[in-house]
Amino acid sequence: MFDVGIIGATGYTGGELARLLVSHPEMELKVMTSRGNAGKPVDKVHTYLKGHVDLEFAPSIAGADELDMVFAATPHGVSMEHVPGLLETGVKVVDLSGDYRLSDPDIYETWYGKEHSDPGNLANAVYGLPELFRDEIAAADLVANPGCYPTAAILALAPLYAKGLLAGDVVVDAKSGTSGAGISPGPRTHHPNCAESVIAYNTGKHRHQPEMEEVLRKVGKGGDVLFSPHLVPIVRGILASCYADLAEPMSTEEVVSLYDAFYRGERFVQVVDEASVRAVAASNRCQVSPAVIGGKKAAVFASIDNLVKGASGQALQCANIMLGLPESTGLDFPGLGV
């Protein structure tokens, strides 16, 4: 049995990690930290964990050297304050913030508005998308868990980049539920503003854009990513609609065959006729639906639960790999469907 802890366990991703971990047969949740809720029983904040988690929020991750794995579910800029000390104790870390996703500290500063304080570990962090970087994750001590939008977009586009089949730039038009904004409410996610609306925001300025471009260029050849995120009035889920010109004419059947081959054997990626948010809700699965328009343009749709495959589930998938466990352990269940 592996002992694990969560830093920043008050938020949605921290709570979701706890929800998944209480059913994990090989991991035991030992500590959950919260600066604002230290001393409170966890089930007084995350009431859905009552009867499953008998812990109080701790003010810090003291005793980390007795843990095997720590999940850092903190805002960006906070994780890099904790990670160096954790790694020095010998514990493995999966960071769910954006602090270790971009390999260049200058690019990090440009997009996050903060100087990176841990460039040494930044250079050694492995991007935690198992379907593309499984071997590197297995050997890593520090994994940067992907962003939710990049998870959907990269899985949608990776087969086309890997085969060099695209000409020109790629448009990623993605819609996300309100939980993606985190637990602290803001003007955009206030219920009267978003409950009966669709909001386009941060076009060309979203921090997930350089993440998509960097990872896709590791995978293969393709143009820049033109990313436009939208907020839609659901709680969980992302649908990424990706469009690009093909370098050579192809049929839908040829592209579907390519995707079937690329993701063959992947437990958590399903090539389907129609990607659906409800089909993957509360699961660690991604549905991908490729098509060709007029023989010249690719249209690929991907759906995930932003809190599971887009955050906590993927973090647990990476942790399984890092600890030498079957990667589907504690995650092998379907989406809600309705």
Q: What is the per-residue pLDDT across 108-155, written as a single tens digit (0 to 9) for each?
A: 999 999 999 999 999 999 999 999 999 999 999 999 999 999 999 999
**Residue 273 to residue 37: CA distance in whole angstroms:** 45
Instruction: Kindly state the tokens that stand for 57.
Output: 């929020």
Same domain, 19 and 97: yes
Please say if the pLDDT value at position 84 is more than 80: yes
pLDDT of residue 298: 97
pLDDT of residue 197: 84
Using the CB atoms, write b or e for 110-123: b if 16+ within 10 Å: ebbeeebebeebbe
Same domain, 46 and 170: no
pLDDT of residue 148: 97
User: Residue 192 — pLDDT band, cuts 50, 70, 90?
Assistant: confident
User: Residue 188 — pLDDT band, cuts 50, 70, 90?
Assistant: confident
Looking at 108, 124, 140, the residue that finishes a domain is 124
In this structure, is residue 34 part of a structural domain? yes
Same domain, 70 and 175: no
Same domain, 300 and 219: yes
Same domain, 85 and 208: no
**Residue 229 to residue 189: CA distance in whole angstroms:** 14
> Residue 16: CB partners within 8 Å, gap ≥ 6?
307, 308, 311, 312, 313
Same domain, 155 and 297: yes
CATH number, domain with residue 90: 3.40.50.720
Same domain, 73 and 180: no
Please say if the pLDDT value at position 56 is more than 80: yes
CATH number, domain with residue 204: 3.30.360.10
Same domain, 112 and 162: no
DSSP-derived secondary structure for 179-217: GGG-SS--TTTSHHHHTT--EE--TTT-THHHHHHHHHH
CA distance to 56, 150, 196, 215, 276, per residue, from 155 (Å): 37, 8, 29, 11, 15
On average, the pLDDT of the chain sits at 94
Mean pLDDT of 79-84: 94
> Residue 160: CB partners within 8 Å, gap ≥ 6?
166, 220, 222, 244, 255, 258, 298, 300
User: Residue 186 — pLDDT band, cuts 50, 70, 90?
Assistant: confident
Same domain, 154 and 284: yes
User: Residue 62 — pLDDT band, cuts 50, 70, 90?
Assistant: confident
Same domain, 116 and 168: no
Report the range of poorest mean pLDDT among 9-13, 115-119, 190-194, 306-310.
190-194
pLDDT of residue 164: 96
**Catalytic residues, which ones?**
148
In this structure, is residue 272 part of a structural domain? yes
Residue 235 belongs to what domain range? 148-306
